[in-house]
Amino acid sequence: MLRFILHRLLQAIPVLLVVVTATFFLIRLAPGGPFSADKAVAPEVLHALEARYRLDQPLSAQYLSYLGDLLRGDFGPSFRYPGRSVDEMIFTGLPATAELGLYALLISLLLGTAAGVIAALRPNSAQDYVPMSAAMIGICLPSFLLGPLLILVFGIWLDWLPVSGWGNVPGDKLLPALTLAAGYTAYVARLSRGGMLEVLAQDYIRTARAKGLPEWLVVCKHGLRGGLIPVVAFAGPAFAGLLSGSFVVETIFQIPGLGRFYVQAAFNRDYTMIMGTTIFFAVLIVAFNLLADIAAVWLNPRLRQQYRKPAA
Amino acid sequence: MNARHLAALLCALIAALGLAGCGGGETRVETGNREQVLHWGNGTEPQELDPHIVTGMPEHYILIALLEGLVLKDPATLEPIPGVAERWEMSADGLVYTFHLRADARWSNGDPVTASDFAWSWQRALTPSLGNSYAYMYFAIRNAEAFATGKLADFGQVGVEVLDERTLRVTLDHPTPYFLQLLDHYSMFPVHRPTLEQYGDPYQRGSTWTRAGHFVGNGPFALDQWELNKVVVVSKSPTYWDAARVKLNAIHYYPVENVSTEERMFRAGQLHITASIPPDKIAVYRKEAPQLLHVEPYLGNYFYRLNTQVPQLADPRVRRALAMSIDREQIVEHVTQGGQQPAYTFTPPDTLGYTAPPGFAYDPEGARQLLAEAGYPNGQGFPPTELLYNTSEGHRKLAVAIQQMWKRELNIEITLNNQDWKVYLDNVDNGHYQIARAGWIGDYVDPNSFLDMWVTDGGNNRTGWGDPRYDALVLQCAPAALEREARYRCFRDAEALLLEAMPVIPIFFSTRNYLRQPGVRGLPANLLGYPLFKQVYLQVGDVQSDD
């Protein structure tokens, strides 16, 4: 297992280097710079700004000095928010985004698995069609539509929940978490239904039933372990996706998270901020994929066996 | 995982999300009304709170609460009223202003606000290394431009002189009737030197002096809290010289970028006032809750730039034909629908008593004739031309309407192209366009703010058009005129030349559209959308807004 983890960690280094290099040069190819504005900027002001942020140096020198800073863990100052460093902005925005992503992940795993298992128990019956149709709607409904709909119903008509904010008043985290979770819940439901259907047809399940075990024990103990492998494989990348894809939900619900910086940075040509957030999310995606792989190995006895023996 | 674990997890999740104990109760606006706390929708997250670095409106609304210049503006008339300076004199030739600072002006840490504070702050604001985009606001002052562009190193030669700690003398390069207005722009606000020196290099970006806990200001409010992307809180400053007249206890500024989110927050009683309103909601509010909707004239316009270097647009007759064939009444009534005024001149009506010369009229027949004279009878032979705008639903709707009008009236084909904001800026700046959408908001109420941009090779011109006669009128005739009427005559002659050559097509004059709870008082409408926060207060109960 350790071998497997080390191997995967070494693989991550070239991946991240490619991400850093490609992002660095691609954003500089994009027309318009961080300091272009509607009102003309005087040439001397522009020179001062470019000198301040080393943009007056050749691109290769900028790239090398950026890599140097990066190795020291310094993402540099934000161009758009001159009084703040990119590090500070990422770590200010991260808690809200991580919390939102975690709630959304938990909601999608709980509701999605429950729906998937219920559907798999009686395939091609109403018990299957109802949750799976709901899941289909969940996949199709984009968050920029679902969010305002939920706000309209629960925030404005019923006046049960706040329409925006994060951690200001009780209950303001529920609607954003549900909105972000909807699409993922639906995926989880479909994945767990498929996984369960496959597992429940296996011989060892028949054996368990033949032993006279009650049905809930068969499903929960023997069925879930195998049936949830696809869900586990999905959960890691899904969490990274929830973190990096929360821009729309953060904007609709006015949440002070990272997603807004990520997207706004690109519009503003805030080079250092684009680099910082992209690298940060790339690291997250690599890390969660690795965690998902480890979990899959742990859940699947056959894979575990394979990694126990050193390769010939 | 068994059913028991599942249930426990579900319960924990519901508790974490705080589902229990929500709904009902007093809204933020109601609590604010009782406690005199104003909840202000402020558009975007402020870039900074350093008045010599920032450039936007969200920063403006926060900085006018935290800092105060020599002079303020009366929000009802926009005439100058005393700020840190209790009185001032102007020399007969309009070149020398002497400001007498009040004895009781204080920084929020108790230090007196002195003439040296202003002189040092202005020197800092003009220092090239800071990269202040608004340095040009100072250029009326003698030698300020030379200092800001690095041609002059000695600030002693700039026309700013400390006579004593309570007297500041400013010498101008040329008479500038709007000079007092500029003093109320944040780029001319003072900053507290010891604080800036404590938290980094005052002449470079990247200092932390503007953080809550560090910030020392001299305005009616002091900075309490600045949570990134969440809120900026300012509370009444006890050291402010006019603290007795400040009625609000605090202002909370929310950076709400999404206009629909902002409107929902307003509807749910989370905001007293919004920065704007979704255009499609204007009609709804006008019908259902007109007392909440505010549509106020604004010192800005919307126009199309024409690249005069493009062959088919090089002929002024073609440019005039394009301008004359747009039915602006239709546009403001059916497309923009926000109370805008059709524009037939470039300068907005009654810009401090200035009235533009009669421009042109909607005249499709005359337009067709001009186009024929230019060699394109009934649009024949007119090359395909592209209209560029930055991606936005509002700009698109307008572009489609105008494209159809040009097709119908002139029989010419215009294609539309939308680009991301920064790409659009880059292309317009480099002249890589044919027709491009644009807007302008005056920095101060004076025709100069709208007309000096069209001088030959001016940074904001970007049309390739230039006329030495126009340059002479704006750069020599107007600054030399001592009487207002003579000065306005220069501007009128200049604007007549501009409208004759038509390198830009004015479309409409802007309005500022926003939502406001009825209890907010002391915010009279004005052309700049300028609030004097020390006069603002909140009235509890059901009231009709009358100001």
CA distance A195 to A197: 6
Q: Per the structure block, which two tokens stand in for A198?
A: 């496959």
User: Do B482 and B524 reside in the same domain of the chain?
Assistant: no
Question: Measured between CB atoms, which of B23, B150, B210 is closest to A159?
Answer: B23
Is there a domain that residue B218 lies in? Answer: no
Is there a domain that residue B500 lies in? Answer: yes
Predicted confidence band of residue A307 (pLDDT cuts 50, 70, 90) = low
Contact B132 A171 (CB under 8 A): no
Q: Identify the residue among B2, B57, B230 best suited for mutation to test binding to A, counting A beta carbons within 10 A and taking the highest.
A: B230
Cross-strand pairs, B164 = B167
User: Do B254 and B382 reside in the same domain of the chain?
Assistant: no
Is there a domain that residue A142 lies in? Answer: yes
User: Which residue, among B267, B68, B286, B282, has the nearest Cα to B185 in the 3D structure?
Assistant: B68
Question: Measured between CB atoms, which of B22, B148, B427 is closest to A170?
Answer: B22
Is there a domain that residue B336 lies in? Answer: yes
Give A226-270 pLDDT, tens digit per residue.
888 888 888 888 888 888 888 889 989 999 998 888 888 998 999
CATH of the domain at B148: 3.90.76.10
Question: Measured between CB atoms, which of A31, A177, A251 is closest to B423?
Answer: A31
CATH of the domain at B349: 3.10.105.10
Is there a domain that residue B265 lies in? Answer: yes
Q: Is A32 on the interface with B (CB under 8 A)?
A: yes
Contact B133 A44 (CB under 8 A): no
User: Do B480 and B415 reside in the same domain of the chain?
Assistant: yes
pLDDT of residue A200: 85
Are B137 and B187 spatial neighbours (Cβ–Cβ below 8 Å)? Answer: yes
Q: What stretch of H or E contains B305?
A: strand B293-306
3-state secondary structure of B273: strand
Cβ within 8 Å of B, A 133-192: 148, 151, 155-156, 158-166, 169-174, 177
pLDDT of residue A309: 53
Cross-strand pairs, B226 = B232
Q: Identify the residue among A38, A81, A113 best suited for mutation to test binding to B, counting B beta carbons within 10 A and taking the highest.
A: A38
Domain interval for residue A207: 93-268
| Residue in the block written with tokens 């524009």 | B343
User: Do B504 and B521 reside in the same domain of the chain?
Assistant: no
Q: Of B206, B233, B263, which residue sits at a domain end?
A: B206
- Chain A's closest residue to B211, CA to CA, is A83
CA distance B53 to A174: 39
- Chain B's closest residue to A84, CA to CA, is B206
Contact A220 B50 (CB under 8 A): no
Is there a domain that residue B544 lies in? Answer: no
Contact B256 A254 (CB under 8 A): yes
User: Do B398 and B524 reside in the same domain of the chain?
Assistant: no
User: Do B245 and B357 reside in the same domain of the chain?
Assistant: no
Segments of chain B with pLDDT less than 50: 1-4, 6-23, 544-547
Contact A42 B149 (CB under 8 A): yes
Domain interval for residue B332: 300-511
pLDDT of residue B126: 96
- Chain B's closest residue to A85, CA to CA, is B206
Q: Return the higher-pLDDT residue of A168 and B173.
A: B173
pLDDT of residue B543: 52
Give A-chain residues touching B439 at CB under 8 angstroms: 38
Q: Of the given ranges (A8-17, A103-112, A213-222, B336-345), which has the lowest mean pLDDT?
A: A213-222
pTM above 0.95, yes or no: no
- Chain A's closest residue to B15, CA to CA, is A171
Contact A114 B425 (CB under 8 A): no
Quote the minimal CA–CA distance from A248 to chain B in Å.
10
Contact A220 B10 (CB under 8 A): no
User: Do B122 and B36 reside in the same domain of the chain?
Assistant: no
Question: Measured between CB atoms, which of B19, B48, B204 is closest to A174?
Answer: B19
How many domains are there within chain B? 3
Quote the minimal CA–CA distance from B331 to chain A in Å.
24
Cβ within 8 Å of B, A 272-311: none
pLDDT mean over A93-104? 92
Cα of first residue to Cα of last residue in chain B, in angstroms, is 64
Quote the minimal CA–CA distance from A293 to chain B in Å.
20
Question: Measured between CB atoms, which of A110, A251, A253 is closest to B6?
Answer: A110
Cα of first residue to Cα of last residue in chain A, in angstroms, is 16
Q: Is A52 on the interface with B (CB under 8 A)?
A: yes
Q: What are phi and psi of B295, to 5 degrees?
A: -120, 110
CATH of the domain at B251: 3.40.190.10
Is there a domain that residue A274 lies in? Answer: no
DSSP sequence for B250-268: EEEEE----HHHHHHHHHT
User: Do B110 and B21 reside in the same domain of the chain?
Assistant: no
Phi-psi region of B28 (alpha: psi -120 to 50; beta: other; left: phi over 0): alpha
Is there a domain that residue A257 lies in? Answer: yes
CATH of the domain at A102: 1.10.3720.10
User: Do B352 and B484 reside in the same domain of the chain?
Assistant: yes
Q: Is A109 on the interface with B (CB under 8 A)?
A: no
Q: Of the given ranges (A189-193, A215-219, B400-404), which has the lowest mean pLDDT?
A: A215-219
pLDDT mean over A120-133? 86
Check: complex ipTM more than 0.90? no
Give B-chain residues touching A104 at CB under 8 angstroms: none
DSSP sequence for A5-26: HHHHHHHHHHHHHHHHHHHHHH
User: Do B306 and B396 reside in the same domain of the chain?
Assistant: yes
User: Do B409 and B534 reside in the same domain of the chain?
Assistant: no
Quote the minimal CA–CA distance from B44 to chain A in Å.
11
